[in-house]
Amino acid sequence: MNERDVLLNELAQGLRPMPEGIEWFDDLGSEEQSEVLLLLRHHCVQARAVAEDASESIRRAGLRPTHTPAVLISRGRIDEQLGKIAGLTPLDERRKAFRLLISVLTVADGRRRERFCSSGCGHWWHHLSAAD
């Protein structure tokens, strides 16, 4: 566990406000932003994101269906589309990608928590609120 992982999971679980996360993301350099987006993609895949998560994730992220990350997540295999979203390079698209990937993680990990971890688990990120 590192600070980045903790912060991303706190954002996904609503333990930190999204404006704080966006400010943190904007303060990162271009290379670090790319690393964060790739890390988020990895977390989404690990949380078993599925194509059906797209519309709820778009809604939670506050994106219009015509925004590039929203269009991407709505088409094709989810793992491939998450990689394309993480690879977006214009700053404005990166912000949208960040918001969307956090939302995908929120939806997918919430489902995972309900299905597999409701009786307890050893995932450190599912115990963040208790650690505060």
7-44 residue pLDDT tens: 998 999 999 999 999 999 999 999 999 999 999 999 99
Q: For residue 91, is it within any domain?
A: yes
Q: For residue 25, is it within any domain?
A: yes
Q: Estimate the crossing angle of helix 30-46 against helix 78-86, to 10 degrees.
A: 160
State if pTM tops 0.85.
Answer: yes
For residues 86 and 16, what is the distance between their CA atoms, to the nearest angstrom?
22
For residues 112 and 105, what is the distance between their CA atoms, to the nearest angstrom?
10
Q: For residue 48, is it within any domain?
A: yes
- 118, 115, 121, 129: which is closest to 13 by C-alpha? 129
Q: For residue 34, is it within any domain?
A: yes
State which residues form the domain around 93: 3-111
How many structural domains are present in the chain?
1
Q: For residue 76, is it within any domain?
A: yes
Q: For residue 127, is it within any domain?
A: no
For residues 68 and 59, what is the distance between their CA atoms, to the nearest angstrom?
14
Q: For residue 29, is it within any domain?
A: yes
Q: For residue 118, is it within any domain?
A: no
